[in-house]
Structure 1
Amino acid sequence: MTWQIWLAIASIILIVIGLVKRYETRMLLVVAGFVLCAASEAPMKAFDSFIKGMTNVTLVPAICTAMGFAVAVQVSKCDQHLVAAVAAPMKKLGGFLIPAATILTFLINIAVMSAAGTAATAGATFIPLLLRAGIRPAAAAAAVGGGTMAGLLLNPGCAHDIYVAEMAKMGVMDFIIWAAPYIVGLVFISGAVNAAIMIVKNKDHLAHEEAAAAMGQAEKAQSDEAFKVNPLKAIAPLVPLCILLAASIWFPKAGVGVVPAMIMGVVFIAAVTLTNPSELSKAFFKGCGTGYAQVIGLIVAAGVFAAGLQATGTVAAFIDLLKGSNEFARWGAAFGPFLMAVGTGSGEAAIWAFNQAVTPEAASFGMDPESLGLLAIMAGQFGRTASPLAGAIIIVAGMAGADPFAVMKRLFPGMLVALVAAALVLV
């Protein structure tokens, strides 16, 4: 191996260390990418990648409008109506509240997309409900935390979907329809394993005294019993998804994409909530800016780092290695993003770096880019959900008055089983 490849390996290790120490992700990726390009005597490759990422006409409009719609949903409080609506049937399920809370949180994540936002919104209603049913605080937090992943992949505004679909030369809705059975099945596996451990092994649903002691903390959250659901507001977060599904199934030639669907969703929110249009407009464009700064910024940074890896010859060497062993590709795509996400509390950096550097070459070692891309995404999602450092897990643990590590112990087994299943099924 050349000294540039050794430098690239060292940069990967330093990035992981920096992420564990909670340094800014985009800064780490951009700096490493520029250093690697400069070391390879191709500094302009880093600048070219930076510009390409900032002006990507497929990613930028879709992701920014999707984030704008998400903020409009939060400002109008439509997300609270959605959560309260799905919580109503849960009250008398006993121990089955644990898997029910996971499934319903997963469904809410489709509309809310943000893991932390889903945790805060769903946890405010579900965690007090779980504690009142006598479920141990750590299990209540795990039940909600376990559903804060992968639902966003069923939303056509998800950045990962848009990127992998473009790479696989598929429409976004075509990719989602293809991926949905895998996503739902893998989430069901993780939820079933964890629920079985919590109910059968730990007897977490019989901890009435411990749950009662934690109620003081949880009752600070909004009570579902005191919230009157408006059905129109409850369905508002799902309107863009419904528009895109209807367009792709019945009106494929209409050309309705993510951007018009999200804007129509904001118009629907304005009509059913009578929110001040000026405030809703401010919220929408604030969300667009947040989407650019956070999501597009991370994509740009990961692209610069991927350019550095390519300039040093690391990607080419890695692809040659994968060509000789499909099993290495399978387990590398699974455990690489997973372990990085567990250790750092975020799977985004690993997902974007892998899917920009390696997944485009999937065909060269006998794999489909959509399958390999989805595996890397799911691995990062599973790892983030199993990490006590993840923002969503810290939020639900705080709401329930539980230790994040106790929550992690209840989530890790299911995430690991689902990860292995994903690697075996997807590639």
Structure 2
Amino acid sequence: MTGFLIATIITVFAAWFIIKNYQPQTVLLLAGLALLLITAFFFPDRSILYGPAKSTGWIGWDIFAFVKESLATQVAGIGLIIMAAGGFADYMDHIKASNAMVDACIKPLQLIKAPYVILAVGYILSQLLHVAISSAAGLAMLLLVTFFPVLVRLGVSKAAAASMIGMSAFMDLGPAVGTANLAAKHAGMEAAVYFAHYQLPLAMGVMATVAVLIFFTARYFDAKDGPAFAGATPQPAGEPEVSRAPAFYALLPVFPVVLVLVFSPLFISAVKIDVVTAMIIGTLLAFCCELLVKRDFKTACKGVQAFFKGMGTMFTSIVSLLVCADVFAQGLQIIGAVDFIINTVQTAGFGFGIMTLVMALLVCVTAALTGSGVAAFFSFSGLAPGIAAKFGASAVSMILPMQLMAGMGRSISPVAGVIIAVSRAGECSPFMIVRRTFIPALGGMAAMLVINGVFN
């Protein structure tokens, strides 16, 4: 009980600082170190070593060695996957392959003359694009440039179009997404299997639900607020047109995803290609395409630097957060807070389903308050396998709704970077965007929890 109260107080302080826009990495790291320090002094019978790591010889240094072990473990594992995926995404942006893929997918929708149907179908298409374009913000920016003007020209209000794009990454799907890779690791399976056997079947029902709700809520709010009809913003005179990539470049962003899925237990089990290897192969293939198209070896070599810069950016923003969140989550577990919650739920007679709901809602609320689905999921994902084991249940049954809830919570957060960005395009406040995304998001969350409860 004492450990739980201490952990609750520290968690509340950490949440308050993050909500006030303090750097989440530093806040989570300090909170985790505080939990370890309190455990070392007040609960000396509990080990504060990171897994099977050996003691430095003094408990004071063991606390900081804990961070080193977490850094080594996360960077060598899921962190490398996240950095490789981020670097590949940046390289695809650099050579404009992402734009080519979006253009290829958007063109067929322009043939339909029902604007709100296009809006709903556009959500499904953009959600599927997220499988290849792992960055939620990057996908939203591409859609704002390409699809947003099309929707507005067809008669959808700017606010409705911006709100739909704000939900384009409602669920973080695919083997290239960092949270999905971490979820697969905790579930004890390959990312391709996690995506194809668990994420995708559940996502189909959720996407259909969200698309229908987007159709009706967009029409309702446009009728209520008055649609803001406007044409696409013309390009300023005198500015050169943005160069376009060849049409076949549209295949490059999905190439690593295809490799991971094909060379996995799903299809060809004799050969196995992990996400990092697939990203490296995809990058070299894109490099060869650049040589073929531009016929400039020096320029093509320089372009690959975008891959490595992207890896560094992902370490700074995401992997560092992963390490600090891991220290915090491990601190919660070591001090006994997680065991207290589990024992309380079991004593009260609640089953695994209620515990799964509690953990999923905890991730959702954290993502909505902080605007970061990554921070929310990374903070609590490490707790799921242990909780599921104590209930004698499969870890994936808990980790799947938690992982999907991270993106869902982000879509109803007025402080999320994606929501703020699309609100500017929609010429309204982030709160107006959230008002439009709330009902589809709520319906999607309910559908996800119901489907997960029935089939998992």
Q: TM-score, normalized by length of structure 1?
A: 0.90
Amino acid at match of 2:141: A
Farther off after superposition, 325-334 or 24-33: 325-334
Q: 1:197 corresponds to which residue?
A: 217
CA contact (8 A) 2:150 2:232 kept: no
1:244 is paired with a residue whose SS is: helix
Q: 1:108, 1:122 within 8 Å by CA — same for their partners in 2? A: no
Q: Residues 148-203 of structure 1: CA distance to partner in whole angstroms, max 9, x if unpaired?
A: 232x421x23222222222222122111111211123223322321222212x334
Name 1:389's counterpart in structure 2. Answer: 415
Q: Structure 2 regions of 5+ residues with no counterpart?
A: 41-47, 49-59
1:341 paired with 2:367, answer: yes
What residue in structure 1 maps to residue 252 of structure 2? 236
For the Cα contact (< 8 Å) 1:330–1:423, is it kept in 2? no
Deviation at 1:106, TM superposition (A): 1.2
Q: 1:133 to 1:365 in 2, by over 3 A?
A: same
What is the identity, as a one-letter code, of the residue corresponding to 2:387? E
- Aligned mates of 1:39, 1:32 — CA distance in 2: 11
Q: 1:254 aligns with which of 262, 271, 290?
A: 271
Match of 1:118 in 2: 139
Q: Cα distance, 1:385 vs. partner?
A: 0.6
Higher helix share: 1
Residue of structure 2 in register with 1:267 after alignment: 284
> 166, 185, 188: which one pairs with 1:166?
185
How far the C-alpha of 1:355 sits from its partner, in A, is 0.9
Contact between 1:115 and 1:392, CA under 8 Å: does it hold in 2?
yes
Query: Is the 8 Å Cα contact of residues 344 and 387 (structure 1) preserved in structure 2?
Result: yes
Q: Equivalent residue for 1:141?
A: 162
> What value does the CA root-mean-square deviation take over the aligned residues?
2.4
| Alignment partner, residue 207 of structure 2 | 187
State the shift of 1:354 in Å: 1.5
Distance 2:95 2:129 in 1: 16
Further displaced range: 243-252 or 175-184 = 243-252
* Shift in Å, 1:325: 1.4
Please say which of residues 413-422 and 326-335 is displaced more in the overlay: 326-335
Larger Rg: 2
Deviation of residue 400 (structure 1)? 2.7
Q: Distance in 1 between matches of 2:418 and 2:180?
A: 21
Change (3 A) 1:98 1:238: same
Once the 2 structures are TM-superposed, how far is the Cα of residue 229 of structure 1 from its aligned partner?
6.2
The answer for the alignment partner of 1:37 in structure 2 is: 36
Measured in 2, the distance between the counterparts of 1:426 and 1:250 equals 25
CA contact (8 A) 1:81 1:234 kept: yes
1:137, CA displacement in angstroms? 1.4
Structure 1 match to 2:337: 314
Match for residue 406 of structure 2? 380
**Match for 1:64 among 71, 80, 83?**
83
Residues 134 and 206 in structure 1, CA contact (< 8 A), matched pair in contact too: no
How far does residue 15 in structure 1 lie from its aligned partner after superposition?
1.9
- Could you give the per-residue CA deviations for residues 403-427 of structure 1, whole angstroms, max 9, x where no partner exists? 2212111111111122122223324
Could you tell me which residue of structure 1 aligns to residue 99 of structure 2? 80
CA contact (8 A) 1:102 1:145 kept: no
Q: Structure 2-normalised TM-score?
A: 0.85
Question: Deviation of residue 11 (structure 1)?
Answer: 1.4
The answer (yes or no) to whether the contact 2:169–2:407 under 8 Å persists in 1 is: no
Conserved 8 A contact 2:131-2:177: no
Change (3 A) 1:96 1:257: same
